[in-house]
Amino acid sequence: MNRLLLKPFKAILRWTYQVPPYPDPWEKDQSGPNLKMGVNFLRKDIPNDFRQFFQGDLSSNVRSLDEICDWLRQCKYISDQEQFHQKDHWQHPHEFEQSRKGDCEDHALWAWRKLVELGFEAEFVIGKKHAWVNFIKDGQLFLFETASKGPLMWQPVNQVKDRYVPYWSINGKFQRFMFAGILENLKD
């Protein structure tokens, strides 16, 4: 039923934005209040207020990007269906610290908060079937694959951008941004 309702909506958006051709998915624009409505239309599970993920104290005492990576490598990736018996559950970083297991959103929310607390310019990113963190270090934009357990968890965006399709992000000042990648939802 939902798919039937979405088809006319997509056609209207394609006509409104004159899509295709599709722009570079990584083109980014600061979004107004319409972003929240659009994102929530596409994914109803996304929280409205991300400030909640910065409330309360965390028990981990990481002091560097390397320590964040080491801490995350000790966590287990597990789907929300397996862990909570529901399609999606957004854990507060404190809850994630206690269980040390969660899906990509849980890993990314925790890492985003820790990077912002360490003074990094960082943003939590939701993309095509995935979540990660983008951050700036020494003037360069990096993609932090927070659910990875490998040795190389963060890489320059220009080296990995062809493997990721970002839809929207929120930075440490809680400003929301939309990426052109969200237009991929308009493809049939």
Residue burial 129-155, b: 16+ Cβ < 10 Å; e: rest: ebbbbbbeeeeeebbbbbbbeeeebbe
Q: Is the distance from CB of 143 to CB of 154 less than 8 angstroms?
A: yes
Q: Is the distance from CB of 53 to CB of 109 less than 8 angstroms?
A: yes
pLDDT digits (tens, 9 = 90+) for 21-47: 667 889 888 665 455 444 554 566 788
pLDDT digits (tens, 9 = 90+) for 72-106: 999 999 999 999 999 889 999 999 999 999 999 99
Greater pLDDT, 184 or 182: 182
Report the domain count for the chain. Answer: 1
Mean pLDDT of the chain: 86
pTM of the prediction?
Answer: 0.83
Amino acid letter for position 77:
Y
The CATH number covering residue 57 comes to 3.10.620
Range of the domain at 170: 2-186
State residue 15's pLDDT score.
55
State residue 79's pLDDT score.
93
State residue 186's pLDDT score.
63
Residue 1 confidence class, pLDDT cut points 50, 70, 90:
very low
State residue 37's pLDDT score.
46
